[in-house]
Amino acid sequence: MKARAIFLDRDGVINVNRPDHVKSWDEFVFLPYALTALRKLAARDFRVIVTTNQAAIARGLVAEETVRAIHAQMIAQVEHAGGRIDAVYFCPHHPDDKCGCRKPQPGLFAQAARDFKIDLARSFVVGDAFSDVAAALAIGAQPILVMTGRGREQHAEMIANNHTGHPIADDLLGAVEWILREENRD
């Protein structure tokens, strides 16, 4: 049987979404309850995968090696707190590049599905933007919008454009608790 995954956006879901981008580990700040949420997932039967757009690389604001180092430190801190992140996939391209990996495009998810033999239709995507919801719908996964990061602003825009009916959580912990409740129903 193929694995299930919980795909997490990074900025605004796991850490504070900075308008000037996270350019060093010193600028990376975990959101409240993010580590608790990741700890709750550690022993569960899900792959925990971060999928994140990192256009700051293409804009020349941060080197790709620095982003990789930030992700390594993030994973180490999550593990130190008793949580788990199985992998991080990121798009380094500029939004105008029209690549296949920048969310809402499915490239990051498709690569993770190949690497980890994931059943996307039995998976979840947690994000703070419509691009995360759109990516989830494109791959057949269940989207969950969180109200951290850009979530409140994006939710209002989604309502204005009649994109409703998707689960909404206050934060990553609320999203994880929703997922676990749904799992207990099965």
Phi–psi pair at 5, nearest 5 degrees: -135, 155
Which of 9, 128, 132, 171 is the catalytic position? 9
User: Closest Cα to residue 35, out of 48, 19, 22?
Assistant: 48
Q: Is beta strand 168-169 parallel, antiparallel or unpaired with respect to 142-146? A: parallel
11 catalytically annotated: yes
Q: How far is CA 52 from CA 43, 105, 185, 186, in A?
A: 23, 11, 30, 30
Extended beta strands in the chain, E state:
5-8, 47-53, 87-91, 124-127, 142-146, 168-169
Q: Is beta strand 142-146 parallel, antiparallel or unpaired with respect to 47-53? A: unpaired
C-beta separation of 128 from 12 below 8 A: yes
Which of 11, 128, 132, 171 is the catalytic position? 11
Q: What's the chain's Rg over C-alpha atoms?
A: 15
* Residues belonging to the active site: 9, 11
